[in-house]
Amino acid sequence: MKRIAILFLFIFSLALPLFAAPRMLHKADIRTVMERLFAFHIENKEMTPLLVRRTFKLYIEQFDSEKAYLLNSEVISYLNMDDASAKKVIQRMSNGDYSDFVKLNEVMQQAVLRAQKVRKAVGDQFLKNEIDFSPSQISPPSRYASSVDEVAERQKNRLVRFYLYHQGRSEISSVERRARLLSLFERKARRSEASVLYLKTDGKKVDSERMEHLFSLRILKSFAKSLDTHTSFFSPEEAHEMRLSLEKQFEGVGVVLFEGVDGVMISDLVKGSPAEQSGKILVNDLLVEIDGKEVDNLPFDEVLDLLKKEGKRGVILGFARLDASGKQQRFRVSLERRPIVMNEERIKTSWEKTEGGIIGKISLYSFYESSNGESCEKDIKNAIREFQSIGQLKGLILDLRENAGGFLSQAVKVSGIFLANGVVVISKYGTGELHYLRNIVGRSFFNGPLVVLTSKMSASAAEIVAQALQDYGVGVVVGDSRTFGKGSIQYQTVTDERADLFFKVTVGKYYTASGRTTQIEGVKADIVVPSSYAPYNIGERYLEYPLPADSVNPAYVDSLSDLEPSAKRLFQRKYLPYAQRVVSFWKRMLPTLRQKSAERLAKNQDFQMMLQKHEQIRAKASFLPPNSVDELPPIGADLQMIEAVHIVNDMILMEEKMNPAAAKEVLLQAQ
**393-399/450-454 β-pairing:** parallel
b/e string for 523-556 if b means 16 or more Cβ within 10 A? bbbbbbbbbbbbbbbbbbbbbebbbebeebebbe
* Average confidence (pLDDT) over 655-669: 67
In the chain, how many domains are there?
3
Strands of 456-496, DSSP E: 476-479, 488-492
Residue-level pLDDT at 497 = 81
72 found inside a domain:
yes
For residue range 371-425, list pLDDT tens digits in order.
778 899 999 999 999 999 999 999 999 999 999 998 899 999 999 999 999 999 9
Residue 524 has pLDDT above 90, yes or no: yes
Residue-level pLDDT at 5 = 38
Q: Is 160 exposed, middle or buried (0-12, 13-18, 19+ CB in 10 A)?
A: buried
d(CA 139, CA 634): 22
Residue-level pLDDT at 14 = 38
Q: Answer yes or no: are the C-beta atoms of 645 and 423 closer than 8 Å.
A: no
d(CA 602, CA 632): 24
CA-to-CA dists, residue 158 to 65, 70, 107, angstroms: 12, 14, 21
Pick the closest to residue 466 from 434, 510, 512, 506 (CA basis).
512
d(CA 633, CA 440): 40
Same domain, 54 and 143: yes
Q: Answer yes or no: are the C-beta atoms of 459 and 486 closer than 8 Å.
A: yes
Residue 184 has pLDDT above 80, yes or no: yes
DSSP states along 590-639? HHHHHHHHHHHHHH-HHHHHHHHHHHHHHHHHTTSPTTEESSPPPSS--H
Residues in the chain: 671
Could you give phi then psi for residue 142, rounded to 5 degrees?
-100, -10
- Which of 324, 341, 358 marks a domain boundary? 341
320 found inside a domain:
yes
End-to-end CA distance of the chain: 49
Residue 20 has pLDDT above 70, yes or no: no
Continuous segment of H or E residues that includes residue 573: helix 565-574
CA-to-CA dists, residue 595 to 281, 450, 489, angstroms: 52, 18, 37
Choice between 119 and 139, residue whose per-residue pLDDT is larger: 119
303 found inside a domain:
yes
For residue range 337-375, list pLDDT tens digits in order.
887 766 556 799 999 999 999 999 999 999 998 877 889
Q: How confident is the model at residue 170 (pLDDT cuts 50, 70, 90)?
A: confident
CA-to-CA dists, residue 288 to 10, 256, 273, 304, 310, angstroms: 21, 15, 21, 13, 20
Q: How confident is the model at residue 628 (pLDDT cuts 50, 70, 90)?
A: confident
Q: Answer yes or no: are the C-beta atoms of 595 and 499 closer than 8 Å.
A: no
Of the ranges 286-290, 293-297, 553-557, which one carries the lowest mean pLDDT score?
293-297
d(CA 308, CA 255): 12
Q: Answer yes or no: are the C-beta atoms of 605 and 667 closer than 8 Å.
A: no
Q: Is 244 exposed, middle or buried (0-12, 13-18, 19+ CB in 10 A)?
A: buried
- Which of 227, 261, 280 marks a domain boundary? 227
Q: Show the domain range for 76.
A: 45-227
- Please list the alpha-helical segments (H only) found in 308-459: 376-390, 408-416
7 found inside a domain:
no
Number of Cβ within 10 Å of residue 135's Cβ equals 10
Contacts of 278 (CB under 8 A, 6+ apart): 333, 335
For residue range 31-40, list pLDDT tens digits in order.
999 999 999 9
For residue range 53-89, list pLDDT tens digits in order.
999 999 999 999 999 999 999 999 999 999 999 999 9
305 found inside a domain:
yes
Residue 7 has pLDDT above 80, yes or no: no
Same domain, 62 and 148: yes
Same domain, 302 and 387: no
Residue type, 361: K
36 found inside a domain:
no
Residue type, 290: I
* Average confidence (pLDDT) over 443-461: 95
**476-479/527-528 β-pairing:** parallel
Same domain, 387 and 283: no
Choice between 171 and 159, residue whose per-residue pLDDT is larger: 159
Choice between 301 and 379, residue whose per-residue pLDDT is larger: 379
Number of Cβ within 10 Å of residue 23's Cβ equals 14
Pick the closest to residue 192 from 214, 169, 208 (CA basis).
214
d(CA 593, CA 587): 10
DSSP state of 174: S
Same domain, 276 and 351: no
Contacts of 250 (CB under 8 A, 6+ apart): 11, 13, 15, 244, 339, 340, 342
Residue-level pLDDT at 118 = 95
- Share the mean pLDDT of the chain: 89
Residue-level pLDDT at 662 = 62
* Beta bridge partner(s), residue 4: none
5 found inside a domain:
no
Q: How confident is the model at residue 113 (pLDDT cuts 50, 70, 90)?
A: very high
- Which of 341, 375, 409 marks a domain boundary? 341
Same domain, 88 and 107: yes
Contacts 24+ apart (CB under 8 A), 514-517: 514/467, 514/471, 514/554, 514/556, 515/426, 515/551, 515/552, 515/553, 515/554, 515/555, 516/467, 516/471, 516/551, 517/487, 517/549, 517/550, 517/551
Pick the closest to residue 552 from 506, 518, 581 (CA basis).
518
Same domain, 212 and 315: no
Pick the closest to residue 131 from 192, 165, 168, 178 (CA basis).
178
| CATH at 272 | 2.30.42.10
Of the ranges 132-136, 317-321, 397-401, 570-574, which one carries the lowest mean pLDDT score?
132-136
Q: How confident is the model at residue 48 (pLDDT cuts 50, 70, 90)?
A: very high
Same domain, 561 and 451: yes
Give the CA radius of gyration of the chain.
Answer: 27
Same domain, 361 and 487: yes
Choice between 236 and 662, residue whose per-residue pLDDT is larger: 236
632 found inside a domain:
yes
Choice between 18 and 652, residue whose per-residue pLDDT is larger: 652
Residue-level pLDDT at 531 = 93
Same domain, 360 and 322: no
* Beta bridge partner(s), residue 322: 328
Same domain, 588 and 494: yes
**Angle in degrees, CA 45, 48, 49, rounded to 5:** 165
* Average confidence (pLDDT) over 507-522: 95
Same domain, 370 and 466: yes
